[in-house]
Structure 1
Amino acid sequence: MTQQIIECELHDYIEVACMYGYRVKLILKNQQVFEGKAKDIVTTAEKREFLIIDNEQGSQQVELIQLEKMQVLTPNAQFKEVVF
């Protein structure tokens, strides 16, 4: 079984969003949309990586390999958009 992962450069953008607590809009490959404050990245025992965001629904986990686009909603952020 080959493990799907995202490129390191793209991973760095997610880490920056978490480090600064950016508010982000995530568009998934299936066109689902999530918005919230980027909190952390967690890795499961199966080596699957998830971005944790906090929003009105509480904490949500979004698998990194499902991301199509991340837009930063926080003003004056270091970047505005990342396409995966």
Structure 2
Amino acid sequence: MHSPYQPINCDLHDYLEIACMHHYRLNIELNDGQHFVATAITTRTASSKEEFLLLQNENQQFEIRLDKLRVITPLNKNASFGCITF
């Protein structure tokens, strides 16, 4: 079942934009408990107004709807932010 999109706080968008601008490698935890590591590429807004983070891992590019994010932590040395909870 597809739940209605819940926009995230504007302040959190800033962290995602920084992560994408610097292509940070992120440790990502989703609301459903899934964990994985991927590189932030860009964000996009669908015509339905849902927002997504485009990521790259070793095998493929994929996207995560922003309201599914629980925590992101950059793994890059000297990243401009630390662990961010959504």
Q: Shorter-chain TM-score category?
A: over 0.9
* SS state at 1:10 partner: helix
Cα RMSD, aligned residues only: 1.2
Deviation at 1:13, TM superposition (A): 0.3
Amino acid at match of 1:29: N
Amino acid at match of 1:41: T
From 36, 46, 51, give the equivalent of 1:49: 51
Deviation at 1:43, TM superposition (A): 0.9
Contact 2:5/2:67 (CA < 8 Å) preserved in 1?
no
* Whole-Å separation in 2 of the counterparts to 1:42 and 1:71: 20
Look up the match of 1:76.
78
Moved over 4 A (4+): none
- Runs of 5+ unmatched residues, structure 2: none
* SS state at 1:60 partner: strand
Percent identical pairs in the alignment equals 37
Deviation at 1:3, TM superposition (A): 5.0
Deviation at 1:34, TM superposition (A): 2.5
Look up the match of 1:12.
14
Structure richer in strand, relative to its length: 1
